[in-house]
Structure 1
Amino acid sequence: MAHNGVIRWKVSTQGVAAHSSNPSNGQSAISAMSKLILEFEKEYCSKISLTHPLTGQAACSVNTISGGTAVNIIPNFCEIEIDRRTLPGEDSEQVLKDMKAVLDSISLRDPTILIGTSTPFIDYPLDPIVNHGFAMQISQILIGMGLSSEQSGAGYGTDASTYSIAGIPAVVIGPGSINQAHTKDEWLEIAELDKSVLIYKQIMGYNFI
């Protein structure tokens, strides 16, 4: 009935290209980025301590990096992508402002770190308060089928929050486990799939008020 959201944000550093035979003629965007990552992880990522009783802990990590065009050229561009997991109840726009404030403060202290940013991808959390009534109705269906109606949350994200924000009540219910997803041998038990089909049939036939 609840899950976390995510902000994915590309952040770049600018440098000055030069031939690697004389590095002092240039300014490495990769070197600037290495300093930026260390400071950002120390000043922002490591200080995140928010938790939610259903979805766990908020998180932030730098997970991709690219830069440079050739081994004999001082790189004039480097880019990372930040992944920030947001909790139900957090304001994603405010989270973005807080991250930007940290990046700006790092750049202000070190003028060699010239930062650029892109438009972030924001996937909002699924708020259990907003969808409580609908979740309770789903629970009644499960009880009627003799199944567990325990409501829980997830640390990952789904499309359910998109429907919820649009005013369509949503919960996440289905077969399998996140532990099986995005793995080398992703799989699903047929029995779990068959059970889900029966549940979906009951949901579609239920008289929601």
Structure 2
Amino acid sequence: MRNKTKYILLTLGILSLILIYYNDKYALTETSFDPIELKYSKWFFAIGILCVGIYFFNKNLRNIITKIMFGAFGICLALNLFLYIQIYESVQMQKRYDEYYELETCGKMEKRFAADLQNGKIKYFQFGIGYDVELEKILEKKYDIEMFGMGCMIQSEFECYNKLVNEYLTEKYKKSLVDIYKEIE
């Protein structure tokens, strides 16, 4: 095997291993989903490592084994890059949500709303059984408001923030959240 090939395979293997670790660590702890792509990437990584071992023991198959290693590590890296993008977005969204979750009073939420309004990064916290995708699209596209699904447990401090969002929409766009909900129907 040439030096260039060795370095490429080593780079593929190391990058794959790092991304497998990152994705495995954050897939379940931060995003609460266990992606099938992660399981497949681990299998391809194992195949690549197995081929590395076979490469040193069987001199007749080295050309084929090298190609299998490229394929296995390449697929592993591609799957992990795909997952990294998904997981990274979820982790960042969770971090933004956590900033608000720490604010335990209406007064703190009002201060945060004022800061968000000034920065142009207003949020809306939707409560209920189902997540309204259409509402999210409208709030994001027309009003530049990011929406978070909060589930069934209504939390009063988030309702204080939502009340300010409603007042903002009414004042700036002459539409309340009720009007926006009616647009969806």
Q: TM-score, normalised by structure 2?
A: 0.29
Q: Which structure has the larger Rg?
A: 2
If asked which structure has higher relative contact order (CA below 8 Å, sep 6+), I would say 1
Q: Which has the higher strand share?
A: 1
Report the TM-score when normalising by structure 1.
0.27
The structure with the largest helix share of the pair is 2
